Structures are given as C-alpha cells and as structure tokens.
Amino acid sequence: MHFPNRRLRRYRVSEGIRNLVSEVYISPKKLMYPIFVWDGATEEIKNLPEQFRWNISDKNLYKFLEKLIQHGLESILVFGVATEKDKEGSLGWRDDGVVQRFVKYVKKEFPELVVATDVCLCTWREDGHCGVAKDGKILNDETLDYLAKISLSHASSGADIVSPSDMMDGRVKSIRSALDKAGFENTLIMSYSVKYASYLYGPFRDAARSAPAFGDRKTYQIAPSQLREAILEAQLDSEEGTDILMVKPALFYLDVIKELRQKFQLPISAFNVSGEYSMIKIAISQGVFDEKVIMELFTSIFRAGTDILISYFVPDFLRVKIQ
Ligand code: PBG
Ligand code: ZN
C-alpha cells in the first residue's frame, strides 16, 4: 500500500502554522505612504478615491498622520502640488516653497518619521515636463542643475531622502555631488531608476497637476517592452551613487523587481502607482472583490523581492480612516 506524503497539507493546517511557514511577512516598517501637499484648499483627488491634496495648514492632515504613525507607519513620500507655475519651475526650489515648508513642519512635529520627497520639474513648470523643454525637445544636461537645486532645498528643509523621478541621465551623480558639497552626506537618494512610460500614472497627473502640455514622456521614460534597458538604467544609477533603486509601476512589472533583486545588492523600492490603486480601490468599493485583496497585492510585490513598498493603500492596510 502506498501512502502519499501529506507535508503540504500540514503546512496549511491552521492560521498559526500558515504564518510560521509564510515566506513573506509584511511589516508597516517596510511601507511608505505617498502624500500630496499644496497651498490650495484640501480636496479629494478625482479618480484617486480617499486620497487628498492637503493644505499644509490643515489640522486634519496632522491628525491623520499621527494616527498612521500610531498604527506603525514610519515613512512618507511627499509630492508638492503647484498652485502657481512658471516657465522654469522655480517654485520647486524656493526655500518658502510648499514642500520645503511642509517638510520643516512635519519633521518638527514627528522627528522620527522618515520623510522622502519627490524631486522633479513637472508640477512646477508651465509646460508640465519633467525636464527643461525647448522647441519641443527635452534637454537632458540643462535639467541636472535644477534637479540638484530642488534636492538641496529639500535636504536643507530636513528631508531624509530625496527621490528624483525625472529620468534624466546623470541626475543621481549631479544630486549626490551637490548634496555632499553642501554637507548633506547623510541624505539618501532613492532614484526612480526604472520608471516605465505607463498609462497607470493617469490619476497622479491629475492629482499633481503635472500632465505635459505638449508631447508625452516617452522620450525619457522606459518603454514597457524593455527589461534589459531597465537593468542598464539601474546599473547607471547604482554607479552614480543611488542608495535605493526604485521600480515603477509595480504590478505590471513584477518581473523587473525580481530581476533587479537578483542582479543588485542595493535596497529596492516598488511604487504601487495611482492607477494600480484606483483600479483595485474602485473595484473594492463596487463590491467586485473583498478588501482582503490588498493583502494579496502587497504580498505579491514583496514576494517579487522588493524591500520597500510605496502605496496609496497604506491607510487601508493599517486600518486608519481619515477623521
Ligand atoms: C512625475 C511623477 C509621476 C509619478 C511620480 N512622479 C508621473 C509621471 O511620470 O507622469 C507617478 C506616481 C503615480 O502614478 O502614483 N515625475
Ligand atoms: Zn516629473
């Protein structure tokens, strides 16, 4: 008589056993929450349900942050939204810019909170491009000084991590040397190393009011077909001195996370972007599936090999409601 091996059944026999053998264990310490701040009135973002453009004087913002921190949140990624724009995008690096004022305040109120800031030109420039644009073209090298200036002003305001999302070649090096020269050797760079030209950023562009006025971002972001090119991008950023490699979006690009995990020793972050959030959030709200799908989503991205997960689902995951 042949007896089958029942080992796999034993692994699944109870919740306690399933937890013990679980290959992925998610801690709030590994999560980063993206947050939009501006000088306009607080308002919910269209197509990004339950996410807000917060006025930085809004008490509810700090109550909300406090609750998230009580539930274990340890880091945020800050996006400034412009109420005013100009040709160069100078509000991006002004000491009294909205990101700079918010970071100063939040580091004073919550000194332990790790604050990362998105560094880019698109929300501040009239033309909505991530780089300096002239005659319909994006000028790579001309953009680098501006990104360094923005990074420096964020670091001076107290940001722990600066996160360039523009995809210009050479920006990590230029930001690193500007930071070091000014004495910010301990400020980390988390570069959006592998940023695909994705339609999943749709809701974000509305949120950050950063849609390009002409053309698209395909001349600087990676085409969805490219895996080897993604590795080259990560390689360059790693050589230039990035501290953390980011992959973005996450869900359609899990293979890319896995590939980078195998090829690089640097920490990896994955950005579960606005469109990924919206499609699942809206489906949950319509009863298409149970909200436990959020755990499955997070698990899949960690299983692919990320160290850090950036997601708009963090409040849902931590069971924190606004108000
Ligand atoms: C802009 C930027 C984008 C996102 C982060 N920074 C959009 C874009 O490149 O058009 C997307 C984030 C999201 O969709 O949640 N530099
Ligand atoms: Zn940009």
Residue range 273-285: average pLDDT?
97
Report pLDDT for 286. 97
Residues with C-beta less than 6 Å from any ligand 1 atom: 118, 120, 122, 130, 165-166, 201, 204-205, 210, 217, 273-274
- Going from the Cα of 54 to the center of ligand 1, the distance in angstroms, rounded, reads 18
- From CA 282, how far away is CA 293, in angstroms rounded? 12
Which residue's CA is the closest to the ligand 1 atom numbered 7? 201
Report pLDDT for 158. 98
Q: What is the per-residue DSSP string for 230-244?
A: HHHHHHHHHHHT-SE
Query: Which of 191, 194, 210 is the best mutation target for the ligand 1 pocket, counting ligand atoms within 8 Å of the beta carbon and taking the most?
Result: 210
Tell me the pLDDT tens digit for each residue of 110-119.
999 999 999 9
Decide if pLDDT at 208 tops 90. no
Report pLDDT for 210. 85
Among the listed residues 85, 149, 195, 281, the single catalytic one is 195
Lowest mean pLDDT among 31-45, 202-216, 239-253: 202-216
Q: 98-109 and 140-157 are packed helices; what angle lies between their axes, rounded to 10 degrees?
A: 30
Report pLDDT for 298. 98
Query: Which of 204, 219, 278, 281 is the best mutation target for the ligand 1 pocket, counting ligand atoms within 8 Å of the beta carbon and taking the most?
Result: 204
DSSP 2: P
Report pLDDT for 3. 80
- Nearest in space to 190 (alpha carbons), one of 80, 82, 32, 35: 32
- Tallying the residues shown for the chain, one arrives at 323
23-318: CATH, from 3.40.50.1820, 1.10.357.10, 3.40.50.300, 3.20.20.70: 3.20.20.70
Report pLDDT for 72. 97
Please, which residues have CB less than 5 A from ligand 2, an ion?
120, 122, 130
pTM for the structure as a whole: 0.96
In terms of DSSP bridges, do strands 31-38 and 48-55 run parallel, antiparallel, or are they unpaired?
parallel
Calculate the average pLDDT of the chain.
96
Which residue's CA is the closest to the ligand 1 atom numbered 14? 201
Tell me the pLDDT tens digit for each residue of 141-162.
999 999 999 999 999 999 999 9
Report pLDDT for 207. 86
- Going from the Cα of 201 to the center of ligand 1, the distance in angstroms, rounded, reads 6
Question: Is 292 marked active-site?
Answer: no
Decide if pLDDT at 213 tops 90. no
Question: In the numeric block, which tokens belong to residue 137?
Answer: 């073209």
